[in-house]
């Protein structure tokens, strides 16, 4: 009799929790329906979608270095005339300043490309797309070199649409970088929101994983094997002011599920890095500071800056040496190694 009573109690509790769960799902469904009807996306950022972030403490560019070598060569020639037999002719060759061995023909700047949805086009920003700028600024300081950036985005685009519409534009960016003597160091793909919004159309997480893998593969074909591809998780879904409970919890779970597929895709390719959602943000100054006043969903300029700094931090810290894997090993080498040899021999 006692066991039978406990069994009835368990059935009643399970039924109660089932009713509560169904009620919460129903409420979340109504909230999602209202949001889909009433939400209007703010406009894209009005400013340009490309630019250059300058380093404040960088090494001389190759162009500047060649100018120095040219000056050095001309000075040596003048010294030869003024001090016959006292200046060695082996320090700098006659062709120095145009193709000197001590100044290799390297790109004058590095470049990163952002590919993605409204987070790349800068919805919520007051000027230019802030996310690629923030990443480029942080990397410029780390690399001690100018970093050019481009935002190749399509507001509202899911991965399939980004693949069809933006990969040709990425190819154009690569060709332009070659003409400008720039090296594509990194491509950051921002996606996911417009894919999990289609879950009611039976677009599952597994489908998203396959679509994303195809996009990464196509981008890899365009940019080459040496360029790093980064897949960041989307932060802020769990605290976005526009999302109310229980919809916020449902959206957070879905977003995390789709982001976990990014990690799976990153493990299928070489030089593809997944960046997890930041877990330690304390949202100093209040959560709303991080989100646009236009919709309470997209980041504000400040929020984009914080996210960009976090992405750069994760990229820079991705190697055990403390330097990103594609840092030039000899970037701190002396500008005139041949002159160093001459000076040390005196």
What pLDDT is recorded for position 109? 84
Residue 155, pLDDT > 90, answer yes
pLDDT digits 0-9 by tens, 192-246: 999 998 987 889 999 999 999 999 999 999 999 999 999 999 999 999 999 999 9
303 vs 81, residue with greater confidence: 303
**Mean pLDDT, to the nearest integer, of 116-129?**
97
What band does 158 get if pLDDT is binned at 50, 70 and 90?
Answer: very high
What pLDDT is recorded for position 95? 38
What band does 13 get if pLDDT is binned at 50, 70 and 90?
Answer: low
Residue 275, pLDDT > 80, answer yes
What pLDDT is recorded for position 336? 32
Taking the C-alpha atoms of residue 104 and residue 66, their distance in angstroms, rounded to an integer, is 9
What band does 14 get if pLDDT is binned at 50, 70 and 90?
Answer: low
Question: Which residue(s) pair with 113 in the sheet?
Answer: 150, 187
> DSSP readout, 224-284?
-TTSEEEEEPPPSTTT-TT--TTHHHHHHHHHHHHHHHHHHHHTTSTTEEEEPPP-----T
Taking the C-alpha atoms of residue 319 and residue 23, their distance in angstroms, rounded to an integer, is 48
192 vs 97, residue with greater confidence: 192
Query: Is the pTM value of this prediction over 0.85?
Result: no
């Amino acid at each position: 009799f006692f066991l039978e009573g406990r069994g009835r109690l368990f059935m009643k509790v399970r039924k109660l929790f089932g009713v509560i769960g169904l009620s919460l799902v129903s409420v979340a469904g109504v909230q999602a329906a209202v949001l889909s009807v009433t939400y209007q996306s703010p406009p894209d950022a009005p400013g340009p979608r490309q630019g250059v972030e300058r380093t404040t403490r960088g090494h001389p560019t190759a162009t500047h270095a060649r100018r120095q070598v040219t000056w050095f060569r001309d000075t040596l020639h003048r010294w030869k005339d003024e001090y016959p037999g006292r200046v060695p002719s082996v320090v700098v060759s006659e062709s120095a300043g145009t193709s000197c061995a001590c100044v290799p023909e390297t790109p004058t700047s590095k470049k990163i490309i952002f590919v993605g949805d409204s987070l790349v086009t800068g919805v919520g920003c007051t000027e230019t797309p802030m996310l690629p700028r923030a990443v480029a600024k942080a990397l410029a300081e780390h690399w001690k070199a100018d970093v050019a950036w481009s935002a190749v985005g399509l507001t509202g685009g899911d991965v399939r649409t980004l693949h069809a519409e933006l990969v040709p534009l990425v190819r154009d960016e690569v060709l332009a970088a070659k003409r400008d003597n720039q090296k594509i160091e990194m491509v950051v793909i921002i996606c996911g929101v417009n894919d999990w919004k289609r879950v009611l159309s039976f677009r599952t997480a597994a489908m998203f994983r396959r679509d994303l893998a195809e996009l990464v593969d196509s981008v890899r074909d365009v940019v080459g094997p040496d360029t790093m591809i980064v897949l960041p998780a989307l932060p802020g879904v769990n605290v976005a002011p526009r999302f109310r409970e229980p919809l916020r919890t449902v959206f957070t779970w879905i977003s995390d599920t789709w982001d976990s597929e990014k990690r799976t895709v990153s493990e299928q390719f070489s030089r593809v890095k997944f960046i997890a959602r930041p877990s330690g943000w304390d949202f100093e100054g209040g959560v709303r500071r991080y989100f646009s006043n236009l919709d309470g969903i997209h980041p504000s300029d400040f929020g984009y800056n914080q996210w960009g700094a976090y992405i750069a931090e994760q990229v820079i810290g991705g190697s055990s040496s403390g330097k990103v894997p594609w840092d030039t090993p000899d970037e701190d080498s002396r500008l005139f190694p041949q002159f160093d040899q001459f000076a040390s021999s005196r």
